[in-house]
């Protein structure tokens, strides 16, 4: 029978999650990068390697719950025994061994290290998109001095178009209450870590770097900017740097733009919409006219119905895309798109892509290479990355 060592007993009595995670934070800095990357790969396998705040939050809640329940059991067990029991009664009965203590300690160490890793990943998650930009956009020209990309997921539908400080508020909670204190009081489990978007999140490249000696950052589906590229940016001054919403890469003839923001509102949008609705409703109203020969009443009902449906559909479209239309217009004006917000970026890019194919200049995207806009079937239309 093995007598528990003093060190093993001391570590067995650790039931304070705050203290345990402080130790885990120190051990995290010494953990091999290969191990950390393996954890990332496991967490984000379903999102193809893109960091997802909701996934991190769920994993964190689950891990904290497991360790908390385990420590609660340990605490209840310790509370029912005196210190002398660990050296007399338990040892005499043979049901408290060095190996059992070691297994418990290893479990707590492993799980607490993983929790510290998840908290670190949350703290490193990029700031959420600021949509729409609350200040006027300006044109920034220069050469990219440095750039880095973070694969992350975010919402860009109409409901997400509001200035959001969700992640910053969450981090403030962690700073003020203590990292573990926030976990234990569930202060992070509400809407603070949740996005306001309603549609599916998009895989993006959160891009940050330096231009003209100032920092910049922005969310793009795909971008090809590299150090040394000459660029023009539609950006909003933000502190000592810029929040960027579109980048024309002059060196490569491409443009990266904020996801879900690749078209402007046509000036005749309502009239086109109404014409389509009137056409669709025409046939159903022809039958009662010929059947009852009630021309005037049928015509009035037809016009009124078509008009009300047209207004409803138009308002719904504006509610869903109005903010994106407005932002595209602001970008178009700042960067000088030909025709302003009426410039059909997707159509223009498709023509260039077609011409490149005909001339044999189209380059298939390869792994680890500088990307080029691709066909719709290859995700091109979802990357908001075009020829310009």
pLDDT, one tens digit per residue, over 242-258 is: 999 999 999 999 999 99
Which pLDDT value is given to residue 311?
64
User: Could you tell me the CA-to-CA distances from 1 to 4, 82, 91, 98, 244 in Å, in that order?
Assistant: 10, 21, 8, 9, 67
Average pLDDT, the chain: 76
214, containing H or E segment? strand 214-220
Lowest mean pLDDT among 22-36, 268-282, 345-359: 268-282
Q: Which residues neighbour 242 within 8 Å (Cβ) at sequence distance 6 or greater?
A: 140, 211, 214, 215, 216, 217, 233, 235, 236
Answer positive or negative: Cα dihedral of 63, 64, 70, 71: positive
Mean of pLDDT values over 211-239: 96
Mean of pLDDT values over 272-293: 56
Q: How many CB atoms lie within 10 A of CB 276?
A: 13
* pTM of full prediction above 0.85: no
Beta bridge partners of 202: 154
Q: How many angstroms separate the first and last alpha carbons of the chain?
A: 77
Which pLDDT value is given to residue 264?
74
Confidence band of 333 (pLDDT split at 50, 70, 90): very high
Confidence band of 30 (pLDDT split at 50, 70, 90): very high
Write down the residue that tokens 């923001």 correspond to.
Answer: 261
Q: Which residues neighbour 209 within 8 Å (Cβ) at sequence distance 6 or greater?
A: 144, 145, 146, 147, 148, 215, 216, 217, 225, 227
Which pLDDT value is given to residue 21?
86
Does pLDDT of 329 surpass 60? yes
Lowest mean pLDDT among 60-74, 112-126, 149-163, 208-222: 149-163
Rounded distance between C-alpha atoms, residue 283 and residue 279, angstroms:
8
**Better-predicted residue by pLDDT, 70 or 124:** 124
Mean of pLDDT values over 138-164: 85
Lowest mean pLDDT among 64-68, 267-271, 351-355: 267-271
Q: How many CA atoms does the CB half-sphere of 295 hold within 13 Å? A: 0
Lowest mean pLDDT among 17-26, 235-244, 263-272: 263-272
**Better-predicted residue by pLDDT, 311 or 132:** 132
Question: Pairing relation of β-strands 241-249 and 214-220?
Answer: parallel
Confidence band of 215 (pLDDT split at 50, 70, 90): very high
Tokens of residue 183, six digits? 């976990």
Tokens of residue 26, six digits? 């120190």
Does pLDDT of 354 surpass 80? yes
Buried b / exposed e over 305-320, threshold 16 CB at 10 Å, is ebeebbeeebeeeeee
Percentage of the residues of the chain whose pLDDT score is greater than 90: 35
Does pLDDT of 261 surpass 60? yes
Q: How many CB atoms lie within 10 A of CB 221?
A: 22
Which pLDDT value is given to residue 341?
86
Confidence band of 273 (pLDDT split at 50, 70, 90): low
Tokens of residue 272, six digits? 């086109």
Mean of pLDDT values over 21-39: 91
Rounded distance between C-alpha atoms, residue 271 and residue 268, angstroms:
5
**Better-predicted residue by pLDDT, 13 or 249:** 249
Which pLDDT value is given to residue 382?
74
Buried b / exposed e over 162-186, threshold 16 CB at 10 Å, is eebebbeebbebbeeeebbebbeee
Confidence band of 232 (pLDDT split at 50, 70, 90): very high
Per-residue pLDDT tens over the stretch 159-204? 666 544 544 554 455 455 454 444 444 333 333 334 444 457 889 9
Confidence band of 380 (pLDDT split at 50, 70, 90): low
**Is residue 2 helix, strand or coil?**
coil
Which pLDDT value is given to residue 8?
52
């Amino acid at each position: 029978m093995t007598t528990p060592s003093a060190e093993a007993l001391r570590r067995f009595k650790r039931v304070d999650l705050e203290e345990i995670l402080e130790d885990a934070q120190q051990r995290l800095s010494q953990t091999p990068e290969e191990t950390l990357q393996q954890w990332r790969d496991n967490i984000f396998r379903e999102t193809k390697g893109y960091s997802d705040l909701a996934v991190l939050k769920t994993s964190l809640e689950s891990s904290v719950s497991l360790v908390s329940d385990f420590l609660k059991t340990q605490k209840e067990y310790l509370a029912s025994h005196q210190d002398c029991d660990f050296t007399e009664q338990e040892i005499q009965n043979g049901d408290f061994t060095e190996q059992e203590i070691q297994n418990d300690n290893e479990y707590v160490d492993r799980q607490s290290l993983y929790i510290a890793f998840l908290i670190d990943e949350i703290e490193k998650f990029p700031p959420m998109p600021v949509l729409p930009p609350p200040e006027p956009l300006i044109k920034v020209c220069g050469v990219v001095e440095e750039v880095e990309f973070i694969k992350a997921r975010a919402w860009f539908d109409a409901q997400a178009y509001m200035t959001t400080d969700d992640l910053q508020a969450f981090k403030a909670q962690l700073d003020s209450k203590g990292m573990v204190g926030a976990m234990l009081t569930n202060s992070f489990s509400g809407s603070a870590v949740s996005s306001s978007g309603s549609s599916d999140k998009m895989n993006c490249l959160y891009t940050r770097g330096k231009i003209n000696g100032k920092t910049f950052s922005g969310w793009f589906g795909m971008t090809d900017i590299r150090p040394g590229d000459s660029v023009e940016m539609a950006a909003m001054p933000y502190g000592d740097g810029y929040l960027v919403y579109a980048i024309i890469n002059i060196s490569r003839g491409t443009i990266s733009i904020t996801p879900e923001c690749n078209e402007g509102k046509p000036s005749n949008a309502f009239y086109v919409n109404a014409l389509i609705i009137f056409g669709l409703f025409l046939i159903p109203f022809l039958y009662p006219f010929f059947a009852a020969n009630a021309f005037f009443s049928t015509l009035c009902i037809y016009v009124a119905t078509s008009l009300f449906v047209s207004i409803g559909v138009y308002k719904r479209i504006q509610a869903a895309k109005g903010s994106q239309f407005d932002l595209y217009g602001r970008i178009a004006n700042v960067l000088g798109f030909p025709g302003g917000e009426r410039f059909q970026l997707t159509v223009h890019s498709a023509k260039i892509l077609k011409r490149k194919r005909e001339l044999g200049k189209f380059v298939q995207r390869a792994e680890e290479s500088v990307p080029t806009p691709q066909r719709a079937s290859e995700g091109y239309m979802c990357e908001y990355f075009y020829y310009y």
